[in-house]
Amino acid sequence: MNIRANHLPTAELQALDAAHHMHPFSDGDALAKRGVRVITHADGVMLTDSEGKQILDGMSGLWCCNIGHGRRELADAAHAQMLQLSYYNTFFMTSHPPVIELAETIARLAPEHMNHVFFASGGSEANDTNIRMVRHYWAARGKPEKTVIISRRNAYHGSTMGGASLGGMGGMHAQGGLPIPGIVHIDQPNWWAEGGDLSPDDFGIARARQLAEKIAEIGEDKVAAFIAEPVQGAGGVIVPPDSYWPEVKRVLEAHDILFIADEVITGFGRTGQMFGSQTYDLTPDIMTVAKGLSSGYAPIGGSIVADHVAEVINGGGDFNHGYTYSGHPVACAVAIENLRIIVEEKLVERVRTDIGPYLWERWKALTDHPLVGEAVQKGLMASIALTPDKSTRAKFASEPGTVGYRCRERCFANNLVMRHVGDRMIIAPPLTISHDEVDMLIDRATRSLDETYAGLKADGMLVSA
Ligand code: PXG
């Protein structure tokens, strides 16, 4: 392979990276000073860095590599498609075989009532599509004043102006004048952090009822849609109390608004069903997908659209929206091959009946550790809350995220990618992870927790806020 940088020494790669590459969600100066970690190869669940270290990828890249790294079938699909038709657009009354086949495949895998797909290059773009689509839907139905979209605090829906506005991340809203008008937020169902003295079920109901209260406050005639992740991912793998989704469902059924399930992380097997909406028995009008659609082998996302919505959009004249890479043939060919593997290798069933339950056996035992409060999991996404006192669900006296960051650093040192979100630690390994690799993950996580605990003790930081 003729990639010059593959052969450069680490220090040189780091210097060039610092000089020319601006990183997402990073403090550029701090990163340059420290030097980035350069990942050069990956196979299965293991990454290799430029120093030859073998690292267990507990995050599937960035929640995307559902089938694991390095599958030759996907490379072959991309290669063949590039030679046959590397690019053509899907505008101006044209189409091509891979986009047609992928749309049909997705319709077959999606819930019965969802048979239409609008493609994008990733989840953020797809959510921007969704903002425009739900507003256009109501306008086409003669209700142009139904424009407001309700979302949740600490949700993640992308990084474009629209996606970041739908998201409920304070740090993102603080930069660039967000959110854009017409997007409002209610509270998240995060019982550990915000449940106070309520039982998880009472708290779940209370948080779900905020949706009804917000609709009443704005006026149903002004509300276009509610958007939510079945399980919040980037927010810290927040698994809602059992009472939450049934109550939200009741609220949605009682009101004439659309429901967008953001399945960018939960789609394509992550929760043990093909879609997280199926895990929670939800009936979305639109599902946002990306990541696991191609297992990250090619950038592709989209909106899976219910028949009744597609009918209105298709009947509403031109929908003046689209991306150069909507339905990119190479990305579609890669996604088709990826979905074939997910289905034929029964990865979704594997998560539900085999590796998911096995991970849970091992993961929940982490609550024996003095630093770990709750452990939660849905399929192959899981988190633990770090706390100085689990009996009171206490937060640390240090700035939120300080302890999580220290733990993440220990994980790195122990060759495990386990992320922190504030003081929660999260994992979402490839759906192909073996039992032995789960054992390795738990061993490395435990060692990292032990070292974090020892460090906090030594520094006098085991103190409640
Ligand atoms: N929706 C959800 C639920 C996501 O998790 C997006 C939309 C946006 O997708 P794109 O493909 O535009 O990135 C995401 C992406 C993190 C992290 O820190 C998570 C995401 C992206 C970047 C960082 O966990 N999720």
In this predicted model, what pLDDT tens digit does every residue of 250-283 receive, in sequence order?
A: 999 999 999 999 999 999 999 999 999 999 999 9
CB distance 263 to ligand 1 below 6 Å: no
Cβ neighbour number for residue 211 with a 10 Å cutoff: 22
Q: How confident is the model at residue 291 (pLDDT cuts 50, 70, 90)?
A: very high
Q: pLDDT (tens digit, 9 = 90+) per residue, 144-163?
A: 999 999 999 999 999 999 99
Residue to mutate (ligand 1; options 131, 165, 264, 277; most atoms within 8 A of CB)? 264
Buried b (16+ CB within 10 A) or exposed e, 404-422: bebbbebbeebbbbbbbbb
Distance CA 130, CA 258 (A): 11
Ligand 1 atom closest to the CA of 122, numbered from 1: 11
Average confidence (pLDDT) over 176-201: 97
Sequence length of the chain is: 465
Calculate ∠ Cα 174-233-360, nearest 5°.
150
Q: pLDDT (tens digit, 9 = 90+) per residue, 299-330?
A: 999 999 999 999 999 999 999 999 999 999 99
**Residue 180 pLDDT > 70:** yes
Strand partners, 151: 185
Share of residues in the chain with pLDDT > 90 (%):
98
Cβ neighbour number for residue 196 with a 10 Å cutoff: 9
> What pLDDT does 450 receive?
98
> What pLDDT does 105 receive?
98
> What pLDDT does 1 receive?
60
Q: Whose CA is nearest to atom 10 of ligand 1?
A: 123
Q: How confident is the model at residue 367 (pLDDT cuts 50, 70, 90)?
A: very high
Cα 164 to averaged position of ligand 1 atoms, centre (Å): 10
Q: Whose CA is nearest to atom 1 of ligand 1?
A: 157
CB distance 235 to ligand 1 below 6 Å: no
The reported pTM is: 0.98
Average confidence (pLDDT) over 340-360: 98
Cα 155 to averaged position of ligand 1 atoms, centre (Å): 10
Q: pLDDT (tens digit, 9 = 90+) per residue, 384-441?
A: 999 999 999 999 999 999 999 999 999 999 999 999 999 999 999 999 999 999 999 9
Distance CA 421, CA 325 (A): 32
Look at residue 122 and give its three-state secondary structure: coil
Residue to mutate (ligand 1; options 62, 268, 287; most atoms within 8 A of CB)? 62
Return the closest-CA partner of residue 228 out of 208, 242, 243: 208
CB distance 334 to ligand 1 below 6 Å: no
Strand partners, 57: 417
| In contact, 382 and 376? CB cutoff 8 Å | yes
Q: pLDDT (tens digit, 9 = 90+) per residue, 213-256?
A: 999 999 999 999 999 999 999 999 999 999 999 999 999 999 99
**Residue 2 pLDDT > 90:** no
Q: How confident is the model at residue 7 (pLDDT cuts 50, 70, 90)?
A: confident
Cα 158 to averaged position of ligand 1 atoms, centre (Å): 5
Return the closest-CA partner of residue 131 out of 217, 258, 231: 258
Buried b (16+ CB within 10 A) or exposed e, 65-96: bbbbbebeebeebbeebeeeeeeebbeeeeeb
Q: What average pLDDT does the chain have?
A: 97
Residue 346 makes CB contacts below 8 A (sequence gap 6+) with none
